[in-house]
Amino acid sequence: MLEIKNRIRVMNQQYPSILLEKAINEFSKLPGIGRKTALRLVLHLLRQDYNDVESFGSSIITLKRDVKYCKTCHNISDTDTCQICANPGRDRSTICVVENIRDVMVIESTQQFRGLYHVLGGVISPMDGVGPSDLQIDSLVERINNEEVKEVILALSTTMEGDTTNFYIYRKLEKSNIKLSILARGVSIGDELEYTDEVTLGRSILNRTTFTGNI
Amino acid sequence: MLEIKNRIRVMNQQYPSILLEKAINEFSKLPGIGRKTALRLVLHLLRQDYNDVESFGSSIITLKRDVKYCKTCHNISDTDTCQICANPGRDRSTICVVENIRDVMVIESTQQFRGLYHVLGGVISPMDGVGPSDLQIDSLVERINNEEVKEVILALSTTMEGDTTNFYIYRKLEKSNIKLSILARGVSIGDELEYTDEVTLGRSILNRTTFTGNI
């Protein structure tokens, strides 16, 4: 009953202004933003000063127009070479392979990794039409051949697509002398054991590590 | 533990690009959008074509710059007089008083009201520093004195602020010959009785209507 009511309401929805409707249409293209949320966001912006709205709109246009991708690791950057690749203090013998720039930011925030990155731009996913040639895998191989790389850490998602990509990269690098490693899998810190899934828990028993008294 | 982890992560969060950070800052000013969601939205836009991003950014700037408010009812509009006020087919003797333009759209979508509107721009709320002079109440009184209005329907929220505003308007229009009415309160259509709050249910028993066989 409520669903029917809502459906009728959406069908009849008319906006009092074409400009408003256009802005709502644009906002509702964003992931996870429906027409109701879009309306709320647009009306919020409409209540702000013109300068604030102008700054909002132009920030995203400027970003799209002027942003660069690092020519070495393909991370997002303001310059041709990103801050991480340009940093002489980073360990150039270790490359961490990630799916996207969000993963770079997450790993950086742990402050546990001092090497360089390589952003693939996704994972191999035949269902979504993403093949190896759509990703920065060739440039990874090239980079490894040219530079003094000793270890490649695969830090992709623990999904089927991530595992496929891991295996593809493994086959590509098999013949080189590079050490390939993968993120440790196990029980999350702060998680209660009873809520950990069986596969993770099973693997964390098989791959148990020696306890030396340090946590 | 998890909370501490997240807090540390937020503190250490560094963006690889100043342009990206600026766009994320702008997005996270929107209501209900945190920094994580802002990042997701900005990265989504970054994957679109330049024309699409340009169209997104300019739609909101154009809206803010060019949108008008109807000089009669203060509804949002592309022209000086909104489509509803300009429509000769609408009943000019009935004015429905609402809080904001979203309420106009919701009532319009019911297709049950053929009169005109008056958008107050909020409700009286001393806690938020909103007094009667901040709202379009004087222009409502003026409008009623000048036009051939017979009935004013108060369609404000059923909150304390809404009730205060209802009462304030009642006192302002008391001496005029205008019929003042208020939306029917009762059990929502599609709602189960056991989930209806006691106040609503109690009032709907007191204000029960004669059943004539039609639902």
**Cβ-defined contact of B2 to A190 (cutoff 8 Å):** yes
Put simply, the chain B residues between 116 and 155 with a CB less than 8 A from any chain A CB are none
**Cβ-defined contact of B105 to A64 (cutoff 8 Å):** no
Compare all CA atoms of chain B with the CA of A56 and give the residue at the minimum distance: B26
Does CATH place domain B85-183 in 3.40.1360.10? yes
**What is each CA distance from A38 to A14, B4, B16, B32, B100, in whole angstroms?**
14, 33, 28, 11, 16
**What is each CA distance from A98 to A24, A56, A204, B152, in whole angstroms?**
34, 30, 23, 62
Does A108 score more than 90 pLDDT? no
- Across chain B, what does the average pLDDT equal? 87
pLDDT tens digit string along A126-179? 998 999 999 999 999 999 888 789 999 999 988 899 999 999 999 988 888 889
- Across chain A, what does the average pLDDT equal? 87
At A214 the pLDDT is 67
Q: Nearest Cβ partner of B9 from A32, A33, A109?
A: A109
Measured distance CA(A193)–CA(A211) in Å, rounded = 18
Q: Nearest Cβ partner of A59 from B23, B43, B101?
A: B23
Does A39 score more than 60 pLDDT? yes
ipTM > 0.85? Answer: no
Q: Nearest Cβ partner of B60 from A57, A65, A82?
A: A57
At A52 the pLDDT is 94
How far A5 CA lies from chain B's nearest CA (Å)? 9
Q: Does A112 touch chain B (CB under 8 A)?
A: no
CB A109 within 8 A of CB B12: yes
**Cβ-defined contact of B67 to A77 (cutoff 8 Å):** no
Q: Positive or negative, the Cα torsion across A162, A168, A171, A172?
A: negative
Report DSSP state, residue A130.
B
Does B131 score more than 80 pLDDT? yes
Angle at A143 between CA A124 and CA A93, to 5 degrees: 110
Q: Give the residues across from A76 on adjacent strands.
A: A69
At B84 the pLDDT is 92
The single residue listed with the structure tokens 């003094």 is A148
**Cβ-defined contact of A16 to B55 (cutoff 8 Å):** no
How does strand A151-154 pair with strand A94-98?
parallel
B66 SS3 class? helix
Which alpha helices (H) appear in chain A, and where do they start and end?
2-12, 18-27, 35-46, 50-66, 83-86, 101-110, 137-146, 160-173, 198-206
One CATH from 3.30.420.40, 3.30.413.10, 3.40.1360.10, 3.40.50.620 for A82-183? 3.40.1360.10
How far A174 CA lies from chain B's nearest CA (Å)? 32
Instruction: Report the CATH fold assignment for A2-66.
Output: Helicase, Ruva Protein; domain 3 (1.10.8)
**Cβ-defined contact of B45 to A64 (cutoff 8 Å):** yes
Does A10 score more than 60 pLDDT? no
Q: Which residues contact A100 (CB under 8 A, 6 or more apart)?
A: A119, A120, A121, A122, B43
How far A124 CA lies from chain B's nearest CA (Å)? 18
At B88 the pLDDT is 92
At B7 the pLDDT is 52
Does A11 score more than 90 pLDDT? no
Measured distance CA(A45)–CA(A43) in Å, rounded = 5
Share of chain B above pLDDT 70, in %: 93
**Cβ-defined contact of B57 to A53 (cutoff 8 Å):** no
Looking at A7-21, A79-93, B100-114, which range is the least confident one? A7-21
Compare all CA atoms of chain B with the CA of A104 and give the residue at the minimum distance: B16
Measured distance CA(A48)–CA(A86) in Å, rounded = 39
pTM for this prediction: 0.75
Measured distance CA(B74)–CA(B142) in Å, rounded = 14
How far A59 CA lies from chain B's nearest CA (Å)? 5
Going from N- to C-terminal start, the domains of chain B cover 2-66, 85-183
Greatest mean pLDDT among A197-206, B148-157, B192-201 lies in B148-157
pLDDT tens digit string along B40-85? 999 999 989 999 999 999 999 999 999 999 999 999 998 899 999 9
Does B94 score more than 70 pLDDT? yes
Does A210 score more than 70 pLDDT? yes
Measured distance CA(B102)–CA(B115) in Å, rounded = 17
pLDDT tens digit string along A41-64? 999 999 899 999 999 999 999 999
Please provide the size of chain B in residues.
Answer: 215
Put simply, the chain A residues between 43 and 102 with a CB less than 8 A from any chain B CB are 43-46, 48, 50, 53-67, 75-78, 82-84, 100-102
